[in-house]
A and B are shown apart, each in its own frame.
Chain A
Amino acid sequence: MKGNSRLRRLARFGSVAVLALLLAACAGQYPNTTFEPHSDLGRAIDFLWDRLLLLGTIVFVLVEAALLFVVFRYRRRPGNDVKPPQTHGNALLEVIWTLIPAFVLLFIAVPTVRTTFNTQAKVAAGALEIEVIGHQWWWEFRYPEFGITTANEIYLPTGRTVNFKLTSVDVIHSFWAPQLGGKRDVMANRTNYIWLTPDSTLQPSVWNGFCAEYCGASHARMRFRVFTVKPDQFASWVAGQQRPGIVGSAPVSPGAGAPPAGASPASVTGAATATMASNGAPGYTFPQNVPEFDYARPNGAIPDGLTFTKGLTGNAGRGQRVYSSAACIGCHAIAGNPMSVGVVGPNLTHFGSRSTIGAGSFPNTPAYLALWIKNSRAMKPGVLMPTLGKNEYDPHLKTRVTTGGLDDQQIADIVAYLMVLK
């Protein structure tokens, strides 16, 4: 009796603990949770998940209870040497426990097939098409409707269906923003689609996205951000993105955003005296440093030994000249800079408006950017972008950059240039 009630107490405690964990999983501290979908696709999946979890839990409890009951009830007592009844089976029981799983699985199969067809149906007319192009290890996003090319960040208007058209230029990747819906693989020689509609009730938010298919050295650092914004904010962002990236004259205060304390041996401050694009105010961009969306701000450390001269001030005009005569233009394009038409690397036209660098590896601040240009290969394993800083050690070539390297002043100028490209 007593043992029995203790068992019951234990069981109650156990179920409370599991519930608490589940509840906690729905709370705000889980920014990438799949339990809190914000799109039609996400909800369709979540509906299935709820059923799977419910049925799974029932099966789990019944089977484990039966197991525990049998194991305790039929344990060999000391001194008991009687041979138990030598039964070989029971046809009726076999039929019953063949039918039980079949029945349970039927309850799963029907909604599964229905949802499979619904979520892969032809996308509704008027959907916003976004081309997603996977690269080792960053994301290229194109909005053919608006003629925009960007990288590692997607802006989506809430309430409008978006159809992602997925291809890769190299290996297989997988496109996944957990809070918006499931993933879909991204590969060359095959075009995949996945469509979803961010809830129209959604407040402007940012979501983390990941590459989910192992794609080589920096698979872990192939992330992206999705900004779900109101339609008018989206329109403003589009208008801004459609403008070329040109350096004007209006001064902008020195950029903030030094690496977190202790993350870097040398703190790099205010690298740029930047100027704003001359042809009007930039379009809408999602505000940075909102505490609520702290999870979207990368917080990895800077590798040991990578430092930048303190107190340097960059000049955007000079930066554009350095940029346009350096290796940068071989890989990067900036609409408005006729020299810069490379297609291998991310399009930098509105680089200054982005929140991260290195595909979600570091915050996009002048301090991080300076280090990135100086030695991206030390900051992100395997990247194609060469180590550019003079006398920097290139971990791929296993030598120091001697000829053609950029000094810190030149890098500060490039930083200033890129940061004004809002």
Chain B
Amino acid sequence: MATTAVPTRGTHHTATAPSYQSGVWSWLATVDHKRIGILYLYTALTFFIIGGLEAVLIRAQLQGPNRELLSAEMYNQLFTMHGTTMIFLAIMPLSAAFFNFLIPLQIGARDVAFPRLNAFSYWVYLFGGIFITLPIFFQLAPNAGWFGYAPLTTREYSPGINIDFWVIGLQILGVSSLAAAFNFITTIINLRAPGMTLMRMPMFTWMSFVVQVLIVLAFPVITIALVFLLFDRFFGTNFYTIAQGADPLLWQHLFWIFGHPEVYILILPAFGLVSEVLPASSRKPLFGYPVMVYSGILIGALGFGVWAHHMFAVGMGAIADSVFAVSTLLIGIPTGVKIFNWIGTMAQGSIRFTSAALFAIGLVALFTIGGISGVMHASPPADLQQTDTYFVVAHFHYVLFGGSIMGIFAGIYHYFPKITGRLMDEPLGKIHFWLNFIAMNLTFFPMHFAGMLGMPRRIYTYDSGQGWDTFNLISSIGAYMLVVSTAIFVYNFFRSRKNGEVAGANPWDAGTLEWSIPSPPPEYNFATLPNVTSRYPLWEGNEKDMESARVNLQEGKTAEQLHIVLPYSTIKPLIVAGAMVIMFCGLITTKALIFVGAAVLVGSLYSWLLSPLEPEHH
């Protein structure tokens, strides 16, 4: 039956499609969402390791009192870059790797809505990431924190080139995130396979959708805040100029209106991944699916109404403090519901402790701690003792490491076989998990104590006798252990890619669409667009589901044989992205570069927009 390649809607035109290629060029010119996802994965893992090494240097400096491993300047650059790297260059793009690879597979699509725009997003991210990361090697890195509070970031107080890299780099990365968000929103709304209704979408796709909406609404705000800063620094405007009467809170409000949704942009994809891993590992559908959807939407929506809880110490007054305290506490409800539903998913299940499952369970355990400490500083008076101390550092590492990173590791172990066709080594994975779990708690739990015992954040040195020495030493030992556990992961990743056990289409016996096609999936994903009649087509689907699944399991067919039209490979998105970054570089080098970059940008953009995406249909 498979060989007849039932023509379905979207495939009934003959065409010559490019076949799967290899070599460097094929990667530079790829518009295939899976390959772009893999590019995101490798790039983001590289930045994750760079950001981790930055953290290790920070911990080495703080290991004991009055240490002089790093200068104040170097320390300040490192903590700024650690935050910036982990948020914008590691966690967001790691999520983007999954958006790219998984969303079309989960909704039964052949690609994203705009494949070339997708490639563009990746190249902008890569170039922007390099742009903002390189200066650290010349001790010229941004040094005002990832939050970059004005007026510290204005020319008057930061005359060097450091902050220029930060302003321009974040602006570039914003373009990447926004372009990707338009693309995924459209993809999820418009490219779902027949029968894939919104309330049948896998939870990862749902959470990704919420995240894209958050990006679309939150990133313009930081864009404008950064434009103001850029204008202040380069053209002498006064948005943050104290002497002209500027409001020092303008930046903070704009930044956190972006910054708090950003927190959910970082965590919701991990929630989504865990919501895939736990059902597959427990052999049970997600518990309370509609509630999980609504709570995700609610978390995202409330996320826009709580930004000022980052500002309880700025003196907004009791009324504003109370309003933001209550709205922040409210977010605790949908978050708690999610935790309970994950536990409900496992209850009465048959839980198999794969590495992925362990990391997912780890997320539930650790995020709970971060959630509880989050509620603690939702109370403005209590927060006056917590904000800007190590207590907050502990909190957001439980949320971002215990939450996002654990979830992403769960996702990597779970989807590695789909991406590569091979399984990651399970014993090594379990060693990685336990070492990671212990080291993570060793690193971040003592920070709660250090903070409540009076240790401020972002200090490069501290006197002995302050009661912080032991806690800092334990934290540093934990950080060194994290290096070991991450090294084990990297070793496992590369070894398994070459020599791992061959996985087959559905090694976990999971129920969603992406497991109905071969691993790794063919270029066209689905030989026939599936018919979907339930949330877990492979578990509870009817004959229609099963039939499309059987067709899609076939291997070795080319797109040509199946008469599937695939988009042309093209390097134009890469050129446009490169030209844009060159244009921005002109701001800090020679103005001529701006014109060169702009000329190439316009030329290549027109060439891209006027050339066809895919072969002509007849």
- A interface list, Cβ under 8 A from B: 21, 25, 29-35, 44-45, 48-49, 52-53, 56, 59-60, 63-64, 66-67, 70-71, 73-76, 80, 82-90, 93-94, 97-98, 100-102, 105, 108-109, 112-113, 115-117, 119-121, 136, 166, 170-172, 174, 176, 178-179, 181-185, 187-190, 192-193, 208, 210-221, 294-295, 298-301, 381-382
- Determine if B321 and A190 form an interchain contact, defined as CB atoms under 8 angstroms apart: no
Given contacts A116-B321, A116-B322, A190-B249, 17 further A-B contacts (CB under 8 A): A29-B467, A32-B467, A45-B381, A45-B385, A56-B376, A70-B347, A89-B287, A90-B288, A90-B344, A116-B380, A119-B381, A189-B245, A189-B248, A212-B389, A299-B464, A381-B71, A381-B73
Q: B555: shortest Cβ distance to chain A, in Å?
A: 27
**Given A33, A45, A172, which contacts B382 in the complex, CB threshold below 8 Å?**
A45
- For the complex of A and B, the 4 pairs showing the least CB-CB separation, nearest first, are A182-B384, A32-B454, A220-B459, A30-B467
Residues in B whose Cβ lies below 8 Å from that of A136: 157
Interface string of B373-392 (1 = CB under 8 A from A): 10110111111110111000
Say whether B368 faces chain A, with CB atoms less than 8 Å apart: yes
Interface pair B289/A220, CB less than 8 Å apart = no
Contacts known (A34-B452, A112-B380); A178 close to B385, Cβ less than 8 A = yes
- Contact B285–A86 (Cβ < 8 Å): yes
Give the chain B neighbours of A109 by CB distance below 8 A: 325-326, 329
Cβ of A364 to closest chain B Cβ, rounded Å:
15
Q: Are A71 and B346 in contact (CB under 8 A)?
A: yes
Residues of B within 8 A of A187 (CB): 248-249, 314
Is residue B190 within 8 Å, beta carbon to beta carbon, of the partner chain?
A: no
Which one of B290, B349, B376, B454 contacts A33 once the chains associate, using CB atoms below 8 Å? Answer: B454
Give the nearest-CB partner of A380 in chain B. Answer: B72
B351:A71 contact, CB within 8 angstroms: yes
Q: Is the CB of A101 within 8 A of B325?
A: no
Given A25-B449, A94-B291, A105-B375: A300 in contact with B380 (beta carbons within 8 A) = no
> Which residue of B73, B336, B350, B387 is within 8 Å of A100 (Cβ)?
B336
Q: Which of A74, A176, A381 contacts B350 (CB 8 A)?
A: A74
Cα distance A89–B295 in the bound complex, in angstroms: 14
**Bound-complex Cα distance A74 to B351 (A):** 6
Are the C-beta atoms of B368 and A63 separated by less than 8 Å? Answer: yes
How many Å from the CB of A177 to the closest CB on chain B? Answer: 9
Which residue from chain B places its CB closest to the CB of A105 in the assembled complex?
Answer: B329
Q: A89-B289, A97-B340 are in contact. Are A208 and B322 (CB under 8 A)?
A: no
Complex CA distance for A48 and B321, rounded to whole angstroms: 15
Interface pair B379/A52, CB less than 8 Å apart: yes
Q: How far is the CA of A225 from the CA of B183 in the complex (A)?
A: 55
Do B313 and A174 touch (CB < 8 A)? yes
Q: Does the CB pair A214–B454 fall under 8 Å?
A: no
Nearest chain A CB to B108 CB, angstrom units? 21
Q: Which residues of A contact B249 (CB under 8 A)?
A: 187, 190
Query: If the complex has contacts A210-B454, A212-B389, A295-B465, are A86 and B157 also in contact, measured as CB distance less than 8 A?
Result: no
Task: Tell whether B18 is near chain A: CB-to-CB under 8 Å.
Answer: no
Are B284 and A214 in contact, CB atoms less than 8 angstroms apart? no
Contact A184 B384 (CB under 8 A): yes
Decide yes or no whether B224 CB sits under 8 A from chain A.
no
Report B-chain residues with C-beta under 8 Å of the C-beta of A295: 463, 465-467
If A84-B283, A98-B337, A101-B336 touch, whether A48 touches B453 (CB-CB below 8 Å) is no
18 contacts between A and B (CB under 8 A): A25-B449, A25-B452, A32-B453, A45-B382, A59-B368, A67-B343, A75-B353, A84-B348, A84-B349, A86-B539, A101-B335, A102-B333, A112-B322, A176-B388, A189-B248, A193-B315, A295-B466, A381-B72
B149 in the interface (beta carbon within 8 A): yes
Give chain B interface residues in 441-500, CB to chain A under 8 Å.
Answer: 449, 452-467
Rounded to whole angstroms, the CA-CA distance of A85 and B460 in the bound complex is 55
Contact B289 A32 (CB under 8 A): no
Contacts A48-B379, A52-B375, A119-B381; A301 near B460 (Cβ below 8 A): no
Kindly state whether residue B372 has any CB partner on chain A within 8 Å: yes
A190–B145 CB distance below 8 A: no
Cα A8 to Cα B291 in complex, Å, equals 35
Chain A-chain B contacts (Cβ-Cβ < 8 Å), number: 296
Q: Is the CB of B343 within 8 A of A66?
A: yes
Given known contacts A76-B351, A88-B289, A94-B288, A382 and B337 CB-to-CB distance under 8 angstroms: no
Contact assessment for A170 and B385 in the assembled complex, using a CB-CB cutoff below 8 Å: no
CA distance A188 to B381 in the complex (A): 23
B66 at the interface (CB under 8 A from A): yes
B373 contacts A216, CB within 8 Å? Answer: no
Interface residues of B in 274-304 (CB under 8 A from A): 282-285, 287-291
B176 within 8 A of A: no
Q: Does B140 contact A (CB under 8 A)?
A: no
A89 and B246 within 8 A (CB):
no
Residues of A within 8 A of B340 (CB): 93, 97
A105-B333, A171-B157, A220-B461 in contact; A80/B350 too (CB < 8 A)? yes
- B76–A97 touching, CB < 8 Å: no
Question: Are A70 and B346 touching (Cβ within 8 A)?
Answer: yes
Question: Using a CB-CB cutoff of 8 Å, which residues 329-343 of chain B contact chain A?
Answer: 329-330, 332-333, 335-337, 339-341, 343
Complexed CA–CA distance, A54 and B294 (Å): 30
Q: Smallest CB-CB separation from B511: which chain A residue? A: A86
Q: In the complex, what residues of A have CB within 8 A of residue B547's CB? A: none
CB <8 Å contact, A172 and B72: no
Return chain A residues, CB-CB under 8 Å to B465. 31, 294-295, 299
B215 to chain A, nearest CB (A): 26
Chain A residues near B198 (CB-CB < 8 A): none
Whether A192 contacts B314 by the Cβ 8 Å rule is: yes
- Alpha-carbon separation in the docked complex, A116 to B328 (Å): 15
Q: Is the CB of A64 within 8 A of B368?
A: yes
User: A83 and B387 in contact (CB under 8 A), knowing A70-B343, A115-B381, A188-B242?
Assistant: no
User: Chain A's nearest CB lies how many Å from the CB of B183?
Assistant: 32
Query: B610 near A: Cβ within 8 Å?
Result: no
A67 touches B389 (CB 8 A): no
A30-B454 Cα distance, complex, nearest whole Å: 9
Is residue B151 contacting chain A, with contact meaning CB distance below 8 A?
yes
B73 x A217 contact (CB < 8 A): yes
CB-defined contacts of B364 to chain A, threshold 8 Å: 67
**Taking the complex as formed, is B591 at the interface, i.e. its CB lies under 8 A from any CB of chain A?**
no
Cα distance A75–B457 when bound, in Å? 41
Is there contact, CB below 8 Å, between A87 and B248?
A: no
Who on chain B is nearest to A178 by CB? B454
- Expressed in whole angstroms, the Cα–Cα distance for A113 and B71 within the complex equals 43
Q: Is the CB of A74 within 8 A of B282?
A: yes
* CA distance in complex: A405, B152 (Å): 31
The residue from A35, A188, A213, A218 contacting B388, defined by CB atoms under 8 A apart: A213
Q: With a CB–CB cut-off of 8 A, which chain A residues contact B289?
A: 88-89
In the complex, whether B15 has a CB less than 8 A from a CB of chain A is no
Chain B residue numbers with a CB within 8 Å of A176 are: 388, 456
Report if B543 contacts A (CB, 8 A): no
By CB atoms of chain B within 10 A, which of A71, A187, A295, A381 has the most?
Answer: A71
Chain A: which residue is nearest B342 at the CB level? A67
Give A66's nearest chain B residue, CB to CB. Answer: B343
- Cα of A422 to Cα of B77 in the assembled complex, Å: 40
In the assembly, what is the distance between CA of A89 and CA of B288, in Å? 4
Asked whether any CB of chain A lies closer than 8 Å to the CB of B540, the reply is: yes
- A381: chain B residues at CB < 8 Å are 71-73
In the docked arrangement, what's the CA distance between A171 and B539, Å?
A: 59
On whether A214 and B145 interact (CB within 8 A), knowing A112-B379, A190-B247, the answer reads yes
Residue of A nearest to B153 (CB): A171
Asked if residues A211 and B456 are in contact (CB atoms below 8 Å), the reply is: yes
Whether the Cβ atoms of A120 and B321 lie closer than 8 Å is yes
- For B1, the chain A residues whose CB sits under 8 A away are none
B285 (CB) vs chain A CBs: closest residue: A88
Is A298 a contact of B463 with CB atoms below 8 Å? yes
Which residues of B, 135-180, contact A by the 8 Å Cβ criterion? 144-145, 149, 151-152, 157-158
Q: How far is the CA of A70 from the CA of B342 in the complex (A)?
A: 10
Q: Which residues of B contact A212 (CB under 8 A)?
A: 313, 387-389, 456-457
- B369 beta carbon closer than 8 Å to chain A: yes
When distances are taken between beta carbons in the complex, the residues of chain A under 8 Å from B76 are 216-217, 219
